[in-house]
Amino acid sequence: MTKKFTLLNYEETLDQKVSLREALPLTHLARFTVEIIAQLDLSKIYAHFSVLGGGTAIAPEILLALLFYGYATGVFSSRKLEQATYENLAFRFVSNNLHPDHATIANFRKTFRVEIQNLFVELLMLAEMAGILKLENLSGDGTKIHADASKSKAVSYKRLEKMEAELRQDVEKLFALAEKAEQGEVQLPADWFPGNEIMLRQERLAKLAEAKAVLKARAQERYQLEQAEYEAKLREREEKAQKSGRKPGGTPPQPPNAQPRATDQYNFTDPESRIMKNSNNAGFDQHYNAQIGVDQKARLIVAVTLSNHPNDKREVEPILDAIPPEIGQPDAAAFDNGFYSEANVKACQRRGVTPYIATGREPHHLSWESFLEELGAAPGVGATPKEQMAYQLRTKIGQTIYRLRKSTVEPVIGIIKEVLGFRQFSLRGLAAALGEWYLVCIAYNLKRMCTLYQAKGLL
């Protein structure tokens, strides 16, 4: 018996009409996105357009929907967003069947970054009103995101000093050559002027001086942090010596240096980004340090920060400060050992937030004996802050809150980098990159809210 197949007719298929209502069910993320945007206050964005003349502009709702839905589905390029409005049914829907050009999309994203940050807060308030968010315990963590700059454009402090010396020598030689030319001792080409060459090198010297000033300021900033850590280590050694009655072993901590290191680097493409260690290999690249705070129950991002600090020692306070006051403060906050410092513990306590910050790396595979170990007596009056924190983490509630960090904030970062595919900023400079990081976090929250709304029967 001969097998029958469906006849092919792609020309007829091209002429078929498609209903977007049929293609996009009520629970589709594209429909959820436009419904949420309709509930947001866009008056500040509209106020900006009111002072501009010209023809009919594309409504901000459409551009926001393109950006929100695009970032939520892993489309970050403005050119690809424009292309998707022609080729993708969901993008045709969120763009209202219009096709904003890539320059309009990119300009909107850059111009309204502050307003988009405010919309992040409004989204959280909508989630709170819907009963899917009630901030109680927070998990915080960070990740390195590639800056829109190549590390080949980075120059070390040692190299800057060498380049500066070479340029100064060139300037001196050019001045001497210009003087000889004026006195008629040498004949120069008619279309070549030493003055232009001198001006070019002086402009480069000014840029090098600016780069050196930035590196000196960063060195001073690093020195203050390292000095605090140095003093904390000295206190800890002294307290141990007083308890034991013996001189502490090991090499004493060395005082930090306030001067720039020869290897400190400045990037001329994006000066505010820095060389940082990659999280996935042993190499280094040009990055920003992106931080988030996640509600442990709803798994929604409630705090967004961005810095150019190579480690997380100074990131606890910014995360807590970034939590919108409209949704309150958490009862407790969990961070891994990369965030531990006495200053961070005190920063949490000042805000009435109970900190659970690891004081050391936790083993990946705990033995069964560790689960049967008794907690023991609480630290005495003379216990160091580190000893007190270590005990607090061993309590039942401490273990519960801290271990939830691994199943809350870490998966969120994994989703952003692996599912959404966001690994590099499109905008340069700390403020602009922060605006884009907010956009990424809004996109994640939209996806999460869509899931929570469905589970609650709100869609």
Which pLDDT does position 99 carry in this prediction?
A: 95
Reference 218, options 141, 149, 145, 275; nearest CA is 275
Rounded distance between C-alpha atoms, residue 398 and residue 362, angstroms: 14
**Pairing assessment for the beta strands 332-335 and 137-146 based on DSSP bridges:** parallel
The angle that helices 385-394 and 396-404 make with each other, rounded to 10 degrees, is 90
pLDDT digits (tens, 9 = 90+) for 221-278: 888 888 888 888 888 788 777 777 778 777 888 888 889 989 888 889 999 999 888 7
Task: Give the burial class of 361: count Cβ atoms within 10 A of its Cβ; 0-12 exposed, 13-18 middle, 19 or more buried.
Answer: exposed
> Tokens for 445?
């929250």
Q: Say which CATH class 134-150+276-430 falls into.
A: alpha beta
In this prediction, residue 226 carries a pLDDT of 82
> What is the separation of C-alpha 58 from the centre of its chain, rounded to a whole number of angstroms?
29
Q: Of 456, 455, 372, 444, which is closest to residue 33 (Cα–Cα)? A: 444
Distance CA 321, CA 300 (A): 17
What Cα–Cα distance (Å) separates residue 320 from each residue in 31, 144, 314? 33, 19, 11
Closest to 48 in 3D by CA, of 115, 96, 94, 100: 115
Amino acid 363: pLDDT: 55
* pLDDT at position 381: 66
Give the per-residue pLDDT at 372: 46
Number of Cβ atoms within 10 Å of the Cβ of 458: 13
Q: What is the pLDDT along the chain (459 residues), one digit of tens a residue?
A: 678 888 888 888 888 888 899 999 999 999 999 999 999 999 999 988 766 556 678 999 999 999 999 999 999 999 999 999 999 999 999 999 999 999 999 999 999 999 999 999 999 999 999 999 999 999 999 999 999 988 888 888 899 999 999 999 999 999 988 888 888 888 888 888 888 988 999 999 999 999 899 889 888 888 888 888 888 888 878 877 777 777 877 788 888 888 998 988 888 999 999 988 876 666 788 999 999 999 999 999 999 999 999 889 889 999 999 999 999 999 999 999 999 988 899 999 999 999 999 987 665 555 545 544 555 667 766 677 888 888 888 899 999 999 999 999 999 999 999 999 999 999 999 999 999 999 999 999 999 999 999 999 988
Least Cα distance to 194 among 202, 316, 112 occurs for 202
Best CA proximity match to 138, nearest among 290, 304, 326: 304
Maximum Cα–Cα distance across the chain: 104
Of 356, 354, 359, the closest CA to residue 341 belongs to 359
Pairwise CA distance, residues 217 & 38, whole Å = 45
CA angle 451, 33, 434 (to 5 degrees): 95
**Domain ranges in the chain?**
19-111, 134-150+276-430, 152-240+255-266
Closest alpha carbon to 357 in 396, 398, 309, 311 = 398
Report pLDDT digits (tens) over 96-105: 999 999 999 9
Half-sphere exposure of 387 (CA within 13 A, CB side): 13
Q: Rounded to whole angstroms, how far apart are CA atoms 316 and 268?
A: 29
